[in-house]
Amino acid sequence: MLDSIFYKSIFKDFAFLVLRVFTGAFLIHHGFEKLNDINNFADAFVRPLHLPFPVTLSYIAAGSEIGGSWLLILGLCTRFGATAILGTMSVAIYHAIATSGFNIYLIELLALYFSSAFSIILLGPGMYSADYLIKEILKTRFSLINSIFSQKTKYFSSKKAISKPISHKKLFGFPFSSFLSS
């Protein structure tokens, strides 16, 4: 009982949803701010690093923040979106350290976005995401196709039609169901 109270995760998939949506929702406006004055962003953040094609890289940074944020919010290609955000935050952290030293006030927000994206890459999108729905739909269709083909081969090999029940997994379950059953 104590094990289920202290160590068992009750709302793990809901926590993944909150992490994804809040990270995406709070980060998306940074990308739009870059697009408002892309030349100013290129002059202030990309040129001091002496990177080639500063305006192009500024568009890439803004696009990865906007596109990655939308992918996180929707839960579609979640790890790809989190990887785009992680790359942008890595360069932003490098810029903050290279230009201002280790100033915690500049690195704090960047490190939070970095750690959120890194956690999402490692843990995945969770059950409440488009990625999970697509996986379940494809798994159901492939199991249906496999059962049809296995029935036909059994039918032709034994000349009897054998019906095999197809088990369907619930797409969404009540969060407390595993907690209360233990």
Helix/strand/coil for 26: helix
Can you tell me the mean pLDDT for 72-83? 95
Q: How far apart are CA 40 and CA 55, in angstroms?
A: 9
Spatial distance between the Cα atoms of 120 and 16, rounded to a whole number of angstroms = 8
Distance CA 86, CA 34 (A): 17
Closest to 46 measured CA to CA, from 33, 27, 61, 32: 61
Q: What is the mean pLDDT of residues 86-97?
A: 95
Report pLDDT digits (tens) over 106-152.
Answer: 899 999 999 999 999 999 998 999 999 999 998 888 777 777 777 66
Share of the chain above pLDDT 90, in %: 62
